[in-house]
Amino acid sequence: MKSTSFYILGALLLLVSCKEPFIPELEPTEKSFLVVEGYINLGQGAVTTVKLSRTLPLQDPEAQQPETGATLTIEEEGANAGFTMQEQTAGVYVSEPLKLEAGKNYRVKIKTKNGKIYASTYETGKATPAIDEVIWKWEKDGIRIYVNSHDPLNNTRYYHWTFEDVWQIQSVEKSYFRYENGKMIERTPLETEQMFTCWGYGKSSDLLLGSTAGLSQDTISFPVTAFGHHTSRTKIKYSIEVTQHALSQQEFFFLQGMKKNTSEMGGFFDPQPSEALGNIQNLADSNEIVVGYLGAYSTQKKRLFIRKEDLPEFPTKDKCNGTYSPDHPDSLQVAFGSGAFLPTSKITGEIENVPFTMFLGLQAICVDCRIFGKSEKPSYW
Amino acid sequence: MRNFLLFIFCIQFFLFSSKASLAQRSGSVTLQVNNSSIEEFVQQIESKTPFRFFYDPHQLADIRITLQINEQPIASVLEQAFKGTNIQFAIDPQQNVFLVRGKEIATTLPPDLFPAPAGLVDKAKSVARQQLPLEPGKTAFIAAQENKVYVIGVKGLNQEARATISGFVKEAGTVKPLIGATIFHQTTGAGTATDGNGYFTLTLPKGPQALTIRSLGMKDAKRQVILFSNGSLDIALFPANTALKEVLVQAEEESNIKKLQMGMEKLDVSTIKQVPTVFGEADVLRVILTLPGVKSVGEATTGFNVRGGATDQNLILFNDATLYNPSHFFGFFSAFNPEIIKDVELYKSSIPAKYGGRVSSVLNINSREGNKVKIAGSAGIGLLTSRLNLEGPLMKDKSSFLFGTRTTYSNWLLKLLPNDSGYKGSKASFYDVNLHLNHQFNENNRLAVTSYWSKDASNLNTDTLFSYSNRNLSLKWSHAFSSKFFGNFTVGQDHYHYENYSQANPITAYKLAFSLNQANLKADFTYELHPKHTLSLGAGAVYYNLKPGTYRPMGTESLVLPVEIEQEKALESALYIEDNFAVNHRLSFSLGLRFSVFNYLGAQSIDTYAAKLPKDEFSKTGTKTFGENEVVQTYSNPEVRMSGRYAFTENFSVKAGYNTLRQNIHMLSNTTAIAPTDIWKLSDPNIKPQLSQQLSLGLYQNLFSNQLELSAETYYKKLKNYLDYKSGAVLVMNPHIETDVVSTHGKAYGVELMVKKAAGNFNGWVSYTYSRIFLQMNDATQGPLINKGEFYPAAYDKPHDVTFVGNQKISRRFSVSLNMTYSTGRPVTIPIGRFTYGGSQKTLYSGRNDYRIPDYFRTDLSLNIEGNHKLKQLTHNSWTLGVYNITGRKNPYSVYFTSDKGVVKGYKLSVFGAAIPFVNFNIRF
């Protein structure tokens, strides 16, 4: 059977084909590129914010690498002086409140701390049309929020939205006590209140892009977000603020490419890799890769509230497990020591002339709404 | 007709038997003569053998013979002795040898030489006697004898100075027509070649003429004719038996210089079988890849790229049937069974006007015809595949069949793999079946049927099973209208489909299917208008019907919603005419024109998009619907095929050509090779036909009496409407492909050098190719520019390629083949960093195709061992042993990147990452 083993050997060599790590040898200059994120904000008192960072090697576990110490200037084409921006936090640069106008051409010039000078191409400021309305619809699969807008001049065509949403959260019961080292300490009324009412915050994570390029009228209705019919968001009150920007065609395509950008490639079903080159370049070396696009446009915002009463009846059903413990260090430790249960109230009484004290408690997630949100009430609530 | 065929049979029988009987009776001759006179020479032989010589001493007085012979038959001795002289010899059964100068000796065939039954022999004799004279143009000779003078036509029929001979060149014995055999008239230099049916016509001055006939794999032959008027002459050639030392194979020795085609490579199956391949299985496409100007993107890919063309730009014809996926098992094997194939032609530069529909090349694979005389067969056992072939007559001498099948039995091997190999649970299987039938009604009517069926299934170690299948059927009727006008009528149906399914998760179990059907109808004619003009003309139509994608749930638990993409239909019709114009024996031209009309047909709904805007979901303005068979869009335009040749000398020629080509079916692929997830898409209102123009120039020099062929070709090509992909394009199950592709234009150029030694104990070739292909997308109205609108290399741009293929015969039974290839790694787009944008992690990619995978280098070695050459044995056996990728270099096939816990990791995959020994056992019976 010599020949059989020979066959198997051949087949094994074939099938245990080699999969080896592949680390492409990059040019030394191709290891860290400037990433620019932001836009030139037009309008009365508008603040422009630009974030600078650097790309990291693929193998680097670091989350991100802010580019600090750069000098940023917003420049108007034909004007002499620019507006300098200040570094607020690491890599985040903000301008003074300015009054930049639609129709004029603006760019941002960036001088990094290693002395290289970058600039975005001059972009003509675009006035973003006002949001007509932000509405919600009760749809088959949940509640969906739409932003509706139009441009009577048919000039806008390309839209980008972001949103921030907030919803009120209420704990099942108030907590009046705190367990600490075998003892119960009374909470302050403020703390009790802070644990009882909170506000959850969310924001857009995907790039929300829409266009009316193929339509005869520049009118758009775009679904910005959706959630289930019965979620904590609409249990009491929900609010969403949608921000709208009018993009240039180039920036729209840049962001579209960014949206499709994934890290999977080379497989049968994987999409083709996307480029992420925008309108910024090194003035001395136009071949240097710079990621980002700095457009110039104004900002329009609109807020929507959804109250519990606006919606069909909500089947509230909180599942909360409870516990209790006599006021004894050992048993308190057993009931509340882990932190999974928080004490809510105290019961006192007498059994056969012997006074006793009992503490009741519920799961922490039913008592402390700060787990899900913040206690500070938003100004517009 | 029946008698005629019997006659062929008898002649052949006689020739074989006479040889054998001579050798037996006389034994062999051993002699040594040095500058001897004819008397001394004859005396030596007569003293040692029973042969007696008869000759005129005065006529042969000036002959001097120098010869050293050891144990050779008398005929061979005489052949060598009088080589280069005009002395003819004939040997009769009484062992009398006749020597004559100049004239031919037509010996009558004595009856006792035929060991066949007496009745048969008598019949053959009477047929032979009845041969003369002939009615013009009616019955043909099978001219199998060199020394015989064949009389053609009727003396004094007309006063014209010239007359036309037509007929078939066939292989003696099997009576298979020989395609591309050249018939050459030495005195005037006139010549022609047989067409696809082995048919030729040649106009010559009347009177006695000598013809030289050559064909690949056949012994060169000379025929003497006396031409009185138009008539036919069928010529039977004998296979070149390479085991006999006396025979020098000089197949197509002049064709490189003489033939008009440039950028055309022709390989016969014996060459193909010499090149070592993985698993020892002769592989047509792998050998094609060793030719200059032909490349592949990776190891396990059978798709090939010709002169900067994409893998979908090659028209692959198997006996006129179009094959869409020419590979098995993801490219490990080609779809063509080597035992069935006769030869392969690749047109990469000047493409004859009869072909159309692809912009890069035409690969024409011709199968053999089955043996018309007796049942024969072969079987092979390899590492992973086995094959069985059978052939034989259905009606003796009239019709034959040829059946071949291959299958793999690798699944049991895959089961034996250790768990940690990563390939446990892999499945792979394929089979293919070929059946060819031939029938000759009479000498003017022949019918051939080709059917091909293949099926592949593999899961590539994923939970998805990929399966695909080719199914082809074609029917070809060949008809000779006259000795100068010949036609082929072909009808066929081609089918390709794939089906991928996954049942790993019952909830998401799905089946994804694609299918393509095309029905073909065509008529091709050859007409010899004038001795200097041969016209090819014809018409054809292809009806396409594609199901671009169906996505269906599998099993009862599956929640997958069924999706089906609308069917596509189109009709592509073409007319062509081409004139092969031989100005003189140095200068010739081929001028062709092809006009094709492509109609995209309904029922179909077509999305319309705003003008001057990139096509995407946002620029869509509406949808137009079209009714059943309504013409949605028509594309048409002429294609020009021109080439010319000037032979400065017998051994040096220059050729130039200009071609335009168009293509209406596009392959869309996430990989650069042909894969079972590719989609073929027809041109439609949103996707325009691909166009190409090619200008080429070639120099051809043969050295050492055509032993060594040198060629240098250069080309410049322009491409229009080649499809590349937008960033983030998704191609599978996309109902509006146009939104994910961009139309690019391209330029390709290159130089191909080749040195080839076609004959001898050592044969093979070395080729070097420099070729570039660049694409450009600088039209901002199509969307973001690719690489800033500059030219970028296409994914299959591989500038340098050096290939060596060699075969050394060590003895009659042993030969060694070596194959070495080097090429530049292909370009890829790679991730070069990551960053955070809009709150999420993104990957930064290099410019499109800015990087390359490592260069490719491979050496293969194989040893072919033939069994013994005893004529009479039940089976003939042969062994092939070898090592594929002998250096064990890990040539990357692909690189890919996956995100693992937020970290992007790159991998390179080499398919044959070690030296792979193989062994193959073949039996012929």
Q: Out of B788, B829, B842, whose CB is closest to A276?
A: B842
Contact A214 B619 (CB under 8 A): yes
pLDDT of amino acid A269: 53
Structure tokens at A185: 């300490």
Q: Out of B844, B905, B910, whose CB is closest to A18?
A: B910
**Mode of pairing for the β-strands spanning B314-318 and B321-322:** antiparallel
Residue of chain A whose alpha carbon sits nearest to that of B829: A273
A210 vs chain B: nearest CA distance in angstroms?
Answer: 7
Residue B184 included in any domain: no
Residue B642 included in any domain: yes
CA–CA separation, B411 vs B430, rounded Å? 10
pLDDT of amino acid B110: 45
Interface-testing mutation among B671, B837, B910, B911, with chain A (most A C-beta atoms within 10 A): B837
Phi and psi torsions of A81, nearest 5°: -95, 150
Q: Which of residues 68-97 of A touch B (CB under 8 A)?
A: none
pLDDT of amino acid B252: 46
A271 vs chain B: nearest CA distance in angstroms?
Answer: 5
Q: Look up the CATH number of the domain holding residue B94.
A: 3.55.50.30
- Give helix then strand counts, H and E, for chain B: 8, 57
Nearest residue to B280 (alpha-carbon basis) of A10, A272, A108: A10
Q: How far is CA B497 from CA B99, B455, B545, in A?
A: 67, 10, 12
Beta strands in B238-356 (DSSP E): 264-268, 294-295, 305-306, 314-318, 321-322, 327-328, 333-334, 341-347
Total CB pairs under 8 A between chain A and B: 228
Contact B386, B407 (CB under 8 A): yes
Cα–Cα–Cα angle for B807, B808, B810, nearest 5°?
Answer: 145
Contact A11 B413 (CB under 8 A): yes
User: What pTM did the predictor assign?
Assistant: 0.70
Query: For B264, how many CA atoms within 13 A lie in the half-sphere containing its CB?
Result: 22
Contact A213 B829 (CB under 8 A): no
Nearest residue to A152 (alpha-carbon basis) of A119, A187, A127: A127
Interface-testing mutation among A14, A55, A207, with chain B (most B C-beta atoms within 10 A): A14
Contact A200, A227 (CB under 8 A): no
B796 vs chain A: nearest CA distance in angstroms?
Answer: 15
CB neighbour burial string for B496-535, b if at least 16 within 10 angstroms, e if fewer: bbbbbbbbeeeeebbbbbbbbbbebebebbbbbeebeebb
Residues A63-81, mean pLDDT to the nearest whole number: 88
Architecture of domain A31-125+273-294: Sandwich (2.60)
B798 vs chain A: nearest CA distance in angstroms?
Answer: 18
- Classify the phi-psi angles of B198: left when phi > 0, otherwise alpha if psi is within -120 to 50, otherwise beta: left
CA–CA separation, B295 vs A110, rounded Å? 47
Which of B98, B118, B138 finishes a domain? Answer: B118
Q: Which of residues 245-304 of A touch B (CB under 8 A)?
A: 250, 253-254, 256-277, 289, 291-292
Q: Look up the CATH number of the domain holding residue B728.
A: 2.40.170.20
Nearest residue to B548 (alpha-carbon basis) of B323, B731, B310, B724: B731
Please write the tens of the pLDDT for every residue from A176-189.
998 888 888 999 99
Q: How many domains does chain B have?
A: 2
Q: By CB neighbour count within 10 A (0-12 exposed, 13-18 middle, 19+ buried), where does A25 fall?
A: exposed
Nearest residue to B55 (alpha-carbon basis) of B100, B20, B22: B100
A287 vs chain B: nearest CA distance in angstroms?
Answer: 10
Give me the sheet containing B314-318, strands edge to edge: B264-268, B341-347, B361-367, B314-318, B321-322
CA–CA separation, B335 vs B408, rounded Å? 13
Q: Out of B410, B835, B910, whose CB is closest to A11?
A: B410
AA identity, residue A315: P
Which of B68, B90, B118 finishes a domain? Answer: B118
pLDDT of amino acid B719: 92
CA–CA separation, B299 vs B330, rounded Å? 10
Residue B140, C-beta contacts closer than 8 angstroms, at least 6 positions apart: B4, B167, B168, B231, B232, B233, B234, B443
Write down the domain spans for chain A.
31-125+273-294, 131-241, 322-371
Residue B438 included in any domain: yes
Contact B753, B768 (CB under 8 A): yes
Considering only CB atoms, which chain A residues are within 8 Å of B886?
Answer: none
Average pLDDT per consecutive 10 residues, chain B (925 residues; last block may be shorter): 33 33 53 80 82 80 78 81 79 80 58 43 37 37 67 75 84 77 80 83 84 81 83 80 43 55 76 69 81 76 80 89 83 80 87 90 89 83 78 86 84 54 62 91 89 84 79 93 90 92 79 92 90 90 92 83 89 93 87 93 89 83 90 92 88 90 86 67 91 91 82 92 81 82 91 86 88 90 84 90 87 85 86 81 83 87 77 72 83 71 70 74 75
A218 vs chain B: nearest CA distance in angstroms?
Answer: 11
Considering only CB atoms, which chain B residues are within 8 Å of A273?
Answer: 727-728, 829, 831, 843, 845, 848
Secondary-structure breakdown of chain B: helix, strand, coil percentages, each rounded to the nearest 5: 10, 55, 35
The DSSP secondary structure of B118-178, one letter per residue, reads HHHHHHHHHHHHHTSS--TTTS-EEE--SSPEEEES-TTS---SEEEEEEEEEETTT--B-
Interface-testing mutation among B416, B724, B775, B897, with chain A (most A C-beta atoms within 10 A): B897
Structure tokens at B339: 């035992």
Considering only CB atoms, which chain B residues are within 8 Å of A276?
Answer: 837, 842, 844-845
Asked whether this complex has an ipTM greater than 0.85, the answer is: no
AA identity, residue B674: I
Contact B799, B771 (CB under 8 A): yes
Structure tokens at B530: 């004038």
Question: Domain range holding B6?
Answer: 1-118
Interface-testing mutation among B609, B616, B618, with chain A (most A C-beta atoms within 10 A): B618
pLDDT band at A20 (very low <50, low <70, confident <90, very high): confident
Contact B677 A291 (CB under 8 A): no
pLDDT of amino acid B830: 81
Residue B27 included in any domain: yes
Please write the tens of the pLDDT for every residue from B638-674.
999 999 989 888 788 899 999 999 999 998 876 654 5
How far is Cα of residue B510 from the mean position of the Cα atoms in its chain?
39
Contact A11 B784 (CB under 8 A): no
How far is Cα of residue B781 from the mean position of the Cα atoms in its chain?
43
Please write the tens of the pLDDT for every residue from B122-150.
443 333 333 333 333 333 446 666 667 78
Cβ neighbours around A107 below 10 Å, total: 21
Three-state secondary-structure class, residue B111? helix
B197 vs chain A: nearest CA distance in angstroms?
Answer: 42
Residue of chain B whose alpha carbon sits nearest to that of A54: B835
Cβ neighbours around B873 below 10 Å, total: 11
Contact B904 A261 (CB under 8 A): no
Going by the DSSP 8-state scheme, the letter that residue A283 receives in this structure is S
